């Protein structure tokens, strides 16, 4: 969170979680200037590690940076989800990620309370299951300074759903500091082959007190409507976490 410290200078009190960002802002007229900076010929721009959207001098926008780790069994769709969120073409064939792959996603967000606009820069870290087993140093590298973790399961693979409890427990045992935790069910559109029921999801949510998001396996399209729910939820959760941390830090300064 250190790289985002300058964005909290004007924070008063954080709004109740669930109302911090305008969730359908990408459909509003006043968002066009900002979303045009992540689009090219009606498709999402692909950003490298050192690239970023360029705004005109009269409209400067702060960027907040976050590292997101994608966790899940082989074949659940981690690479496909990263491609989907970045607006990339989703691979038609599954292949095992041989090491660590990173994907940069920029997403403009309007804050509900202040009307302020921020660019959220999500760096998605994806590592193949076999590589994690073979090389002990990979998982600590993925976890280091992570701001959020997405635990993935596939609606077409019951074993990936049953494995969630083990994954979350292992993460909680070794993770330090505040980390946003979300669960994402992939291939939700393949309902004819669904191995995980709505009751299963409800029971899991009640037991673990974690939000469960759903995503399909279709084409990326323009990368806005399809990706917006998950990206906005991620931005909301991370901003809420940072606001709480900033407020806590302010209280400590006041107390001393």
Query: What pLDDT, on a 0 to 100 scale, did the predictor assign at position 133?
Result: 75
pLDDT reported for residue 13: 33
Query: Cβ-count burial of 188 within 10 angstroms (0-12 exposed, 13-18 middle, 19+ buried)?
Result: middle
pTM, entire model: 0.86
pLDDT (0 to 100) of residue 175: 67
Confidence at residue 10, expressed as pLDDT on a 0 to 100 scale? 35
Given a contact cutoff of 8 angstroms between Cβ atoms, the answer to whether 124 and 105 are in contact is yes
Q: Could you give the CA distance from residue 47 to residue 196 in angstroms, rounded to a whole number?
A: 35
Distance CA 194, CA 138 (A): 32
Max CA distance (Å), the chain: 60
Q: What is residue 17's predicted lDDT score, i.e. its pLDDT?
A: 54
- Please compute, for residue 120, the number of CA atoms within 13 A of its CA located in the half-sphere on the CB side: 27
- pLDDT confidence of residue 119: 97
Q: pLDDT truncated to tens, each residue of the chain (256 aa)?
A: 434 544 443 333 333 456 799 989 999 999 999 999 999 888 899 999 899 999 988 888 999 999 999 999 888 899 999 999 999 888 777 777 777 889 999 999 999 999 999 999 999 999 877 777 788 788 888 888 999 999 999 999 999 999 999 989 888 877 666 799 999 999 887 767 789 999 999 999 999 999 999 987 655 445 588 899 999 999 999 999 998 888 877 777 777 6
């Amino acid at each position: 969170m250190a790289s985002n410290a300058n964005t909290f200078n004007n924070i008063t009190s954080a709004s109740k979680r669930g109302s911090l960002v305008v969730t359908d802002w990408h459909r509003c007229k006043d968002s066009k200037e900002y979303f045009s900076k992540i689009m090219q010929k009606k498709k999402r721009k692909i950003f490298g590690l050192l690239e970023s959207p360029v705004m005109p001098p009269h409209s400067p926008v702060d960027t907040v940076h976050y590292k997101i780790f994608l966790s899940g069994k082989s074949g659940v769709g981690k690479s496909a989800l990263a491609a989907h969120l970045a607006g990339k073409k989703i691979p038609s064939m599954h292949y095992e990620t041989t090491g660590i792959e990173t994907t940069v996603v920029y997403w403009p967000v309007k804050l509900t309370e202040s009307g302020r606009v921020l660019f959220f820069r999500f760096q998605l870290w994806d590592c193949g299951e076999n590589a994690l087993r073979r090389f002990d140093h990979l998982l600590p590298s993925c976890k280091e300074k992570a701001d959020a973790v997405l635990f993935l399961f596939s609606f077409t693979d019951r074993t990936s759903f049953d494995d969630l409890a083990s994954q979350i427990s292992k993460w909680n045992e070794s993770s330090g500091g505040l980390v946003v935790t979300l669960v994402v069910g992939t291939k939700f559109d393949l309902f004819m082959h669904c191995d995980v029921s709505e009751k299963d999801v409800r029971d899991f949510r009640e037991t673990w007190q974690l939000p469960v998001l759903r995503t399909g396996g279709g084409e990326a399209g323009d990368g806005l409507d399809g990706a917006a729910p998950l990206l906005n939820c991620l931005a909301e959760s991370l901003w809420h976490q940072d606001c709480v941390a900033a407020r806590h830090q302010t209280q400590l300064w006041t107390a001393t």
